[in-house]
Amino acid sequence: MLCLGIEGTAHTCGIGIVNSRGKILANASRTYIPEHGGIHPREAARFHAANARLVLNEALKAAKIDIDDVDLVAFSRGPGLGPCLRTAATAARALASWLDVPIVSVNHCIAHVEIGRLTEGAKDPVTLYVSGGNTQVIAFDAGRYRVFGETLDIPVGNCLDVFAREVGIPHPGGPNVERLAREGKHYIPLPYVVKGMDLSFSGLMTEAVRKHRAGSNLRDLCFSLQETAFAALIEVTERAVAHTEKREVMLTGGVAANKRLREMLKLMAREHHAKFFVPPMELCADNGAMIGWTGVLAYRHGVRQKLKDTGVMQRWRTDQVDIPWRNR
């Protein structure tokens, strides 16, 4: 069985082709980069519509298959930006009905976890999923992926990006903040906010921008911003590991590219005698292969959907999804 997975929650238009044994035959994508400021949802959706055919052709070519060989279509139903989700869903419905094959909708956050379990061999990890649009600590418990902690306001990637933009660090924000942080020498105190198991980054971002305007050294600020934000992420992930007694920790999402975050999480995992996993960056970032593979898992375990029941869900929560492919 070949599943074609369509990712379209935010800036990435991704199409992956995966077989029923989990072999990734193709993972093509194009990413929308705003000319200035953050992602404009309608602009991003237009980008998806304009690039879908190109990405589809690339995926088919890489997989060396014909469109008629596709047996199943999966798409990212949410969470994400409404216009982007609707564009990807429309493409998925059109393809499924034209090919006359089943369609399954996939939760984007769960797909990030599942692709890591597939390729890295993690069986039951506590996952720290950190990106421009999401920040969650996820672990499987009692039949579902539970959110052990999450941001109450902006995602950590967004915190880095907006800080960068406000202080004049060029795009891409996250990697450039990381580069400058390596040259930082002094820790400048910044608001460290953990509420119960949840996180908050907007006050941290605002204060870091304010300190820059007040004359603090930019390299020291980048260093301090990373140390503060990442320490909070590690604290919450560590408590999830201690509570669940799981022996695996996984890092994913675009911010997983950050070497300092990797180092901190790896140290924490070691202290808990847990194995540490990070998928390759093309699978940490938003991608179609993860949607295709999660579609395979769902379909193989009896998930069936009618076209009319595939409406997008902008705020679809990780813990709202039944996971028939995993044992309780």
Which spans of this chain sit near ligand AMP (rule: CB under 6 A)? 131-133, 157-158, 160-161, 172-175, 178, 253-255, 257-258, 285-286
User: Taking CB under 5 A as the rule, does residue 114 contact Mg ion?
Assistant: no
Do residues 44 and 83 lie in contact, with contact meaning Cβ atoms separated by under 8 Å? yes
Query: Pick from ligand AMP, Mg ion, none: which does 255 bind, CB < 5 to 8 A by kind?
Result: ligand AMP
Q: How far is the CB of 224 from ligand AMP (least distance, A)?
A: 14
- Quote the CA–CA distance of 290 and 14 in Å, as a whole number: 10
- Quote the CA–CA distance of 83 and 312 in Å, as a whole number: 10
Query: Pick from ligand AMP, Mg ion, none: which does 157 bind, CB < 5 to 8 A by kind?
Result: ligand AMP
Indicate the residue among 76 and 224 with the shorter CB distance to Mg ion: 76
Do residues 137 and 237 lie in contact, with contact meaning Cβ atoms separated by under 8 Å? yes
3-state secondary structure of 315: coil
- Quote the CA–CA distance of 58 and 128 in Å, as a whole number: 31
Do residues 235 and 194 lie in contact, with contact meaning Cβ atoms separated by under 8 Å? yes
Query: Pick from ligand AMP, Mg ion, none: which does 41 bind, CB < 5 to 8 A by kind?
Result: none
HSE-CB of 245 using CA atoms within 13 angstroms: 0
Query: Pick from ligand AMP, Mg ion, none: which does 150 bind, CB < 5 to 8 A by kind?
Result: none
Q: Which amino acid is at 172?
A: P
Query: Pick from Mg ion, ligand AMP, none: which does 285 bind, CB < 5 to 8 A by kind?
Result: ligand AMP
Indicate the residue among 29 and 310 with the shorter CB distance to ligand AMP: 29
Answer for which of 27, 90, 131, 136 binds Mg ion (CB under 5 A) is: 131
State the binding string over 275-294 for Mg ion (x if CB under 5 A, else -).
Answer: -----------x--------
Q: How far is the CB of 178 from ligand AMP (least distance, A)?
A: 4
Indicate the residue among 8 and 133 with the shorter CB distance to ligand AMP: 133
DSSP string, 9-39: SSSEEEEEEEETT--EEEEEEEE---SSSS-
